[in-house]
Amino acid sequence: MLNSFMSYLHSTVTPGEAGNQLWALIYVLIIFAGVSLTVMWLINWVERKALAHFQVRLGPMRVGPHGLLQPFADALKLMLKEDIIPAEADQLIFWIAPVIGLLAAFTVYTVIPFGPSQAVSDMNIGILFMLGVSSLGVLGIVTAGWASNSHYPLIGALRSSAQMVSYEVAMGLAVVSAILMTSLNSTGTGTLSMIGIVRAQQEQHVWFLFKFFPLGFIAFVIFAIAMVAETNRAPFDLPEAESELTAGFHTEYSGLRWSLFMLAEYAAMMAVSSIAVTMWLGGWMRPFPNLLHGPAWELIFSLFPGLSFAAFAGFAFIGTVRMPKHSFFKVQRIGLGIFALVLAFIALVLFVIAIAGRNADTSIAASFREGIDYVYWFLMKIAVFMYLFIWYRATWPRYRFDQLMRVGWKVMLPISLGVLILTAIVGVLV
């Protein structure tokens, strides 16, 4: 067991491929815990803070320094709430619905490549699997709306199913145009494997975002719009449209069940973002590998994870200093100070690993450094998308149902079809 544990540290393939069940299990646990925690704590907090600052207010400030513990307080509150199933609801389906949504959102993480070997498994139909399973999420919403046996949730569920179906099409076509690009190699065969797609970008020395400019870019934009619609976020948040349908499909849900829906929504946001990152933004690859390469640049880029944590630690430290000098804030100040120290310690560890593993040999430090780099850049790219999601929400009004359909079928579908055909033509000619 220890053997299989150690042997993977130098592996260049995913545990799924290597048949290393122990590490596959470890990855599943890490991903499940990591995604849950990130969603529940980090994204929740960042969304509330960022949204608040867009809207000239402070956001959560009371629970923990700068509201850092607010998400935990909320989670605790949600868990302690009474578990209500409406008397008229279809109990079994009402119970299953959020679980379906959550399972669909989390299952896709098995094929997301955080690095060339940092994934549970490398499926040869990875992207198909992802699109297929992530569309199952709509089943959770539809069943939730149906089982609630109430008018508003029903309308929300109907909206949701229609919306998801129409945006899947444009989304799929955009993905196909990226998959076509993977076949531009000596053998002429493309791949559906998520890792294979990133490797294809590596071999062609270009992110597919810039491939056949502007074709890749347009396909990316189509996908970026469709993925907002797919995850029911503003401005396409019609299924839960607060001002119209009170809360849409989850009107009758409360407490833990409701929070499962939220967890699923945010997990799905990260999942679709990672599709976009894999298909067009070079997955785990760091930016400018063509332009800035050589040992010096490698070292500088490998310092980035440490630098980010050092910056976070710096912000936390400034926050500690700026905290009002009053006994009321004493606990908060100490808490934030400890938080800053923890971040600084993580930054230090990352620096040490980056420098200790600078020689690309087979030492554990080197493979750690590589792994950290891959995961870091992948997560940073996802973070950009998460920020965009929040930004959209702060900026735009909501589309109306028929306009949403029109944009999906009459604008995005023809454009993505055109892009697909042009990509094929250009690919043949090149």
Partner 1 sequence: MTEQKTPDQKAPATIPAQSKQLPGGLTDTSMRVTGTRLDPSGALGSRAASAAHLDLDTPDHPYLDSNELVINMGPQHPATHGVLRVILKLDGEKVLGTECVIGYLHRGVEKIAENRTYTMFNPYVDRMDYVAAVSNGLGYCQAVEKLLNVEAPPRANYIRVILTELNRLASHQLWLGTHALDIGAMTPLFYTFRDREEILKIFEKYCGARLTTHAFRIGGCLYETYAGFEKDVKNFLKFFEPKIDEYETLLTGNRIWIERTKNVGVISAADAIALGVTGPVLRASGVKWDIRKAIPYANYADFDFEIPIGENGDTYDRYLVRMREMRQSLRILEQAVNGIPEGPIMAKVPKVIKPAPGEVYHSIEAPKGELGYFIVSDGSTQPYRLRVRPPSFVNLQALDVMVRGALVADVVAVIGTLDIVLGEVDR
Q: Which residues contact partner 1 (rule: CB under 8 A)?
A: 51, 54-57, 87, 151-152, 155, 158-159, 234-235, 237-238, 241-246, 393-403
Q: Which helix (H) or strand (E) holds 80?
A: helix 70-80
Minimum distance, C-beta of residue 53 to partner 1, in the bound complex (Å): 11
Nearer residue to partner 1 within complex by CB, 105 or 225: 225
Using the minimum distance from each CB to partner 1, give the nearer residue, 231 or 274. 231
The nearest distance, CB 237 to partner 1, in angstroms, is 8
Could you tell me which of 390, 328, 309 has the C-alpha nearest to residue 65?
328
Minimum distance, C-beta of residue 140 to partner 1, in the bound complex (Å): 22
Nearby residues of 85 by Cβ (< 8 Å), 6 or more positions away: 91, 94, 95
CA angle centred on 139, ends 134 and 140, rounded to 5°: 95
Spatial separation of the C-alpha atoms in residues 139 and 134, rounded to whole Å:
10
Question: Least distance (Å) from partner 1 to the CB of residue 156?
Answer: 11
Instruction: Give the residue with the Cβ less far from partner 1, 17 or 244.
Output: 244
Judged by beta carbon, residue 265 or residue 373, the one nearer partner 1 is: 265
The answer to whether the beta carbons of residues 333 and 320 sit under 8 Å apart is: yes
Nearer to partner 1, 329 or 401 (CB): 401
- Token code pair at residue 418: 């055109």
Inter-residue contact 251 to 150 (CB < 8 Å): yes
Between 40 and 155, CB nearer to partner 1: 155
Residue 138, both tokens: 């709509």
Q: How far is the CB of 26 from partner 1 (least distance, A)?
A: 41
> Residue 270 is which amino acid?
M
Kindly report each contact of residues 27-31 with a partner whose C-beta sits within 8 Å and lies 24 or more positions away, as own/partner. 27/118, 27/119, 27/120, 28/110, 28/120, 31/106, 31/109, 31/110, 31/120
Closer residue to partner 1 in complex, CB, 54/95: 54
Q: CB of residue 44 vs partner 1: minimum separation in angstroms?
A: 17
Shortest Cβ 111–partner 1 spacing (Å): 34
Rounded CA separation 170/219 (Å): 9
> Shortest CA distance to 240 belongs to which of 256, 225, 262?
262
